[in-house]
Amino acid sequence: MESIFTALFKYRPLLFREGELVFGTPWPIAAVLGVTALVAISAVATYGSRQGKATAGQRTTLATLRLAALGVLAFVLLQPTLVLTSTVPQQNFIGVLLDDSRSMRLPGESTETRGDFLLETFGPEGSPLLSELQDRFSVRTFRFSGETSRVADASELLYDGTRTDLAGALDRARQELSSVPLSGLVVLTDGADNGGRALAESLVPLQAASIPVYPVGLGDEALTPDVQIGRVELPRSVLRGASLVVDVVVNHRGYQGETVEVVVEDGNRRIAQEPIELGPNGEPTITPVRVTLEEPGPRRLRFSIPRLEGEAVVQNNRRDLLVEVRERREKILYFEGEPRHEVKFIRRAIEADENLQVVVLQRTAPGKFLRLNVDDGDELASGFPRTREELFQYRALVIGSVEAAFFTADQLSMIADFASRRGGGVLFLGGRTAFAEGGYRGTVIEDALPVLLEEPARDPRSAFTQLAVEPTNAGLSHPISQILPSEPSAEADAADATGPEMPETLDDAWASLPPLSTMNRIVSAKPGATTLLTGSSDEGEDRIVLAHHRYGRGRVIAFPVQDSWIWQMHSEIAVDDPRHELLWQQLLRWLADGAPDPVHVEPDREQVEPGESIRLRATVLDSAYLEVNAAEVVAEVTDPTGSVRTEPLSWTVDDDGIYEAVIPVSANGRHAVEVVARQGELELGRGVAFFQAGPSDEEFFDAGRRTALLERLAEDTGGRFYTVDDVDQLPEDLRFTGGGVTLTEERDLWDMPVFFLLIVGLIGAEWGVRRLWGMV
């Protein structure tokens, strides 16, 4: 298409985009236009005065053709000229950035590997492209992967970088060439930017300095055939024994309809496997994999797919992720306003779970409370906590059937703050004095709930209904809803002979549960909330049984049924049926999971290369979870050899309570970070985090050429995107679009073939029409 344009218009479209149109006629333009107008009028007059046998329409057509030919001729007589700004030869520099990451070893389009093209083009032996560039520019060559450095030519590239930091490379080249007239930066890469930095931030100074970037995309857009583990959603830390449902995203090309197995390993131990049928080409397939982590401490989990026949890349068949398995007891406060069977059965359900401690505060009579599972005699001695410090020591909160009027306004705010500020989980249970029936409409709790409160029933018992519960699609893949035991216990096997059989599928496990009852009519979830369980009432109305949403830093769950214990006691449930226990263990674990400690620390990434630095970011709060800016925060970094280095963290000033430090990493292996925050003599808390140092296979994921990213890079900076097929245009484009020292250059347009063709075409057309109508 571009060659046709060039044949007609003499120059490439780029020159028309970049240039400015002027008229070079020595005569005044008005005179030229005047003469043209006279000729045109005489032509029109001629057609108008000589009637002949032609009709008015025919004369009009002929006059129009004649006028068009005259117009083109007049335009040519004006001597149209294209004024261009072009770089001065040998006065300017260009930076050539060569990708030196491991993905350059993957197959290229015209060469065996992507790296081969770099060697052929920018190697010591040179190439036509390089020669053309060197004719006009002083070329400075860089290699980049995680780091960027100057090289003489492409023979110095090793293609062993484990990251591609495109933003860092652009910054480095721009800074290094800031003292010379720079026409542009040519980046030869596959675009697999995984440096973790925002590319847009690096583009701003380039735009300000008018330095265009010319990306040259290497490799195919899609590697075929190939299958890869695209993404794994795994939290950074979990409670020991937690049953996680990890969403594993598998991408593939060329294996549609095949079944592969996703395997999860903890060290050398296989802890889960899940067969997955691959969907249409290019579409990600998401499969939930249930994983239970029993070994405490930092664990490195490997998610992998066995190598398939003919695969283009095998390194992207596995992903390693670091997760901290916490060995601690999550302390949960369950406040119940009246004696209820739920208290008993929730306590029994989680009794076997060593990582949950449910402290029960139960109002047995007005002003009289029963405390269970408290640590000492002072805990909750005066009833429900009256200060945030006292309440926020728990990591999750369960509110049973207790009317809103029981709480003071401040206590209600504290409950809402427990989620929004403290970041804990709050679970609201159903009951005759819960939700709207408990007077929570119009309170801060209504704002915090994930469901909408309806008009309360005058008598809650009149709203009594039974609900056949079923999970939603979101619920089926949520950790709370995984009520099928991962491995049948020996105890359950022994009891099979006497009890109802355990369902084999999750759908059946839910469908075979007896209905529950509710007195709280909850039919709508708030926008943004996720409904996990629904129920169908006796009247056929759909009700919400379990819904949650994020509220500030924490999460709030509504479970507006009053007798989940039926799933343990009902005669259709075997006495050792684990579904009730699993539901409550997972519900309370999920509720408490993610509730932050007052002091916690996170590295900016979990995988780092030796020689690079990692940024630690600590959040420091006091016991009321208010940000502390004047703390003394110190990190102790223990490397794999056991040596400990102490690094202070400093307040970022931009954000309250946020402290940062950049830690250089030198040793391969797992590093542990413990952050201690003090305010004077008072220790505010400690936080622990882990990161792994070593080479990663990140380069092999999504290793196809990322054309969209590279095109945006060119568009935002005024450059142009090339592939290996059209990269030969680069030198000329650089000449007219680049910055640096430039001069003005004029190109005549009057002799463009298109003018000749137009004039001949229009006159020929007029003649042809005359012939057609029999006038000649």
Q: What are phi and psi of 573, to 5 degrees?
A: -105, 125
Which class for 601: exposed (0-12), middle (13-18), buried (19 or more C-beta within 10 A)?
buried
Please report whether residue 579 would count as binding other proteins according to CB under 8 A: no
* Packing angle, helices 730-737 and 128-136, rounded to 10: 20
Please report whether residue 537 would count as binding other proteins according to CB under 8 A: no
Please report whether residue 498 would count as binding other proteins according to CB under 8 A: yes
For residue 357, the surrounding DSSP H or E stretch is strand 356-365
Report helix, strand or coil for 161.
strand
| CA–CA dist 176, 140 (Å, integer) | 10
Rounded to a whole number of angstroms, the minimum distance from the CB of residue 249 to other proteins is: 41
Question: Could you tell me which stretch among 191-199, 249-257, 361-369, 668-676 binds other proteins (CB under 8 A)?
Answer: 361-369
> Which member of 328, 461, 645, 771 binds other proteins (CB under 8 A)?
461
Enumerate residues 307-346 that contact other proteins by CB under 8 A. Answer: 337-341, 343-345
Nearest CA-CA partner of 759 in 40, 63, 72, 74: 72
> Which member of 30, 152, 365, 776 binds other proteins (CB under 8 A)?
365
Number of neighbouring beta carbons within 10 Å of residue 646: 9
Please report whether residue 360 would count as binding other proteins according to CB under 8 A: yes
Q: How far apart are the first and last CA of the chain?
A: 39
* Token reading at 145: 């992967």
Rounded to a whole number of angstroms, the minimum distance from the CB of residue 431 to other proteins is: 8
Please report whether residue 100 would count as binding other proteins according to CB under 8 A: no
Please report whether residue 348 would count as binding other proteins according to CB under 8 A: yes
Q: Which is nearer to other proteins, 251 or 362 (CB)?
A: 362
Question: Could you tell me which stretch among 409-417, 460-468, 617-625, 717-725 binds other proteins (CB under 8 A)?
Answer: 460-468
Rounded to a whole number of angstroms, the minimum distance from the CB of residue 337 to other proteins is: 7
Enumerate residues 371-410 that contact other proteins by CB under 8 A. Answer: 372
Please report whether residue 574 would count as binding other proteins according to CB under 8 A: yes
Number of neighbouring beta carbons within 10 Å of residue 660: 17
Longest Cα separation, the chain: 120
List Cβ neighbours of 382 (8 Å cut-off, separation of 6 or more): none
Q: Are strands 465-471 and 330-336 parallel, antiparallel or unpaired?
A: unpaired
Question: Could you tell me which stretch among 6-14, 186-194, 270-278, 571-579 binds other proteins (CB under 8 A)?
Answer: 571-579
> Which member of 12, 59, 236, 570 binds other proteins (CB under 8 A)?
570
> Which member of 561, 573, 693, 752 binds other proteins (CB under 8 A)?
573
Question: Could you tell me which stretch among 155-163, 383-391, 444-452, 458-466 binds other proteins (CB under 8 A)?
Answer: 458-466
Residue-wise burial string across 203-238, b where 16 or more C-beta atoms lie within 10 A, e elsewhere: beebeeeebbbbbbbbbbebbbbbbbbbbbebeebb
Please report whether residue 458 would count as binding other proteins according to CB under 8 A: no
> Which member of 295, 351, 375, 507 binds other proteins (CB under 8 A)?
351
Question: Could you tell me which stretch among 365-373, 416-424, 551-559, 639-647 binds other proteins (CB under 8 A)?
Answer: 365-373
Q: Which is nearer to other proteins, 498 or 666 (CB)?
A: 498
Nearest CA-CA partner of 358 in 563, 585, 554: 585
Rounded to a whole number of angstroms, the minimum distance from the CB of residue 519 to other proteins is: 8
Please report whether residue 362 would count as binding other proteins according to CB under 8 A: yes
Number of neighbouring beta carbons within 10 Å of residue 31: 10
Please report whether residue 469 would count as binding other proteins according to CB under 8 A: no
Q: Which is nearer to other proteins, 497 or 776 (CB)?
A: 497
- What number of residues does the chain have? 776
**Which DSSP string corresponds to 664-678?**
E--SSEEEEEEEEEE
Q: Which residues bind other proteins (CB under 8 A)?
A: 337-341, 343-345, 347-348, 351, 360, 362-366, 368, 370, 372, 432, 461, 464, 466, 498-500, 517, 519, 562-563, 565-566, 568-576
